């Protein structure tokens, strides 16, 4: 029961603009000195892994559960070290320790976030840091409105009556701070902010949907009854017509950034 981003691996660098710009900000918050070892958890297509690798001579490893994403990462950075695996179940005992664990736009996909963050502590020492960027519960009001309107339409509402949302989201950076403290982390830095994507064409909202949320809404694992095969196509038609009708110029992306250490 795992998410699969393989179908967007080759276009993720164009679609995932919010995730990747947030990742660049998270890298800058790290202020690396140049010799750190780094594990990029949920590295996706390796674009951020490659930026990290430019900033340190230390060992840089990317891990991702998606076969397609790992293939794309290896093509993009042939000399990079990429592992296909699920951070929630992969044996970590022989992985060694890292100075930095980097988790950008991934934590909300963890099926068992508390357990997984505890597992990730095994990869860290008392001087290591964990850098996290994650979307807030109201991550994109415009996109969420379009999704909510779509799932209520007669064309798809029946299928979505059997849907459960797989994401782990909290409402604010303050809530995450409490959450991380309870899991045994010291919080050195916490910030929430927003960025806006200009929607020259309202269908750009579909790109934002396809870059991430679609992998929940079209994942058969998230349905308690068989997911209709034509659901993605029907959803897209309805969603795009709703997005056009909404006539919005900007889509907000609300995210939070954290630099943590094991307490």
Sheet holding 81-84, edge to edge: 81-84, 60-64, 38-41, 98-104, 124-135, 250-262, 185-198
State which residue, 212 or 238, has the beta carbon closest to ligand SAM: 212
Question: How many Å from the N-terminal Cα to the C-terminal Cα in the chain?
Answer: 32
DSSP secondary structure, 224-258, as one string = SSPPPTTHHHHHHHHHHHHHHHH--SEEEEEEEEE
The CB-of-241 to ligand SAM minimum distance in angstroms stands at 26
State which residue, 102 or 176, has the beta carbon closest to ligand SAM: 102
- Structure-block tokens of residue 201: 């064409």
The CB-of-219 to ligand SAM minimum distance in angstroms stands at 11
State which residue, 174 or 193, has the beta carbon closest to ligand SAM: 193
Quickly list H helices, the chain: 12-15, 17-30, 47-54, 67-76, 113-121, 141-151, 157-160, 173-182, 204-211, 214-217, 231-246
The CB-of-231 to ligand SAM minimum distance in angstroms stands at 21
Q: How many of the chain's residues bind ligand SAM (CB under 6 A)?
A: 23
CB atoms within 10 A of CB 23: 25
| x/- map, 192-221, ligand SAM, by CB under 6 A | --------------------x---------
How far apart are alpha carbons 41 and 49 in whole angstroms?
Answer: 9
The CB-of-139 to ligand SAM minimum distance in angstroms stands at 11
| x/- map, 34-63, ligand SAM, by CB under 6 A | --------xxx---x--------------x
Q: Considering only 103-111, 135-143, 202-210, 226-234, which stretch makes contact with ligand SAM by CB under 6 A?
A: 103-111
Q: Which residues bind ligand SAM (CB under 6 A)?
A: 3, 5, 16, 19-20, 23, 42-44, 48, 63-66, 69, 86-88, 104-106, 109, 212
């Amino acid at each position: 029961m795992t998410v699969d981003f393989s179908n967007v691996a080759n276009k993720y660098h164009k679609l995932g603009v919010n995730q990747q710009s947030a990742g660049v900000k998270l890298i800058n918050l790290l202020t690396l000195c140049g010799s750190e070892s780094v594990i990029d958890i949920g590295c996706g297509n390796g674009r951020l892994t490659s930026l990290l690798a430019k900033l340190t001579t230390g060992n840089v490893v990317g891990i991702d559960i998606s076969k397609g994403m790992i293939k794309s990462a290896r093509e993009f950075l042939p000399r990079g070290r990429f592992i296909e695996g699920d951070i929630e179940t992969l044996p970590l005992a022989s992985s060694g320790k890292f100075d930095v664990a980097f988790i950008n736009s991934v934590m909300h996909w963890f099926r068992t976030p508390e357990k997984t963050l505890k597992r990730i502590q095994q990869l860290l020492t008392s001087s290591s840091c964990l850098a996290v960027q994650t979307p807030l519960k109201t991550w994109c009001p415009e996109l969420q409105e379009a999704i909510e309107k779509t799932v209520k339409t007669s064309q798809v509402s029946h299928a979505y009556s059997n849907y459960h949302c797989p994401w782990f989201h909290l409402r604010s950076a303050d809530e995450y701070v409490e959450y991380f403290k309870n899991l045994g982390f010291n919080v050195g830095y916490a910030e929430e902010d927003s960025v806006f994507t200009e929607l020259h064409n309202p269908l750009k909202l579909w790109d934002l949907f396809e870059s991430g949320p679609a992998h929940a809404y079209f994942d058969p694992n998230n349905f308690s009854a068989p997911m209709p095969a034509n659901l993605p196509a029907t959803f897209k038609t309805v969603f795009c017509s709703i997005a056009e009708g909404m006539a919005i110029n900007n889509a907000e992306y609300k995210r939070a950034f954290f630099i943590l250490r094991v307490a």
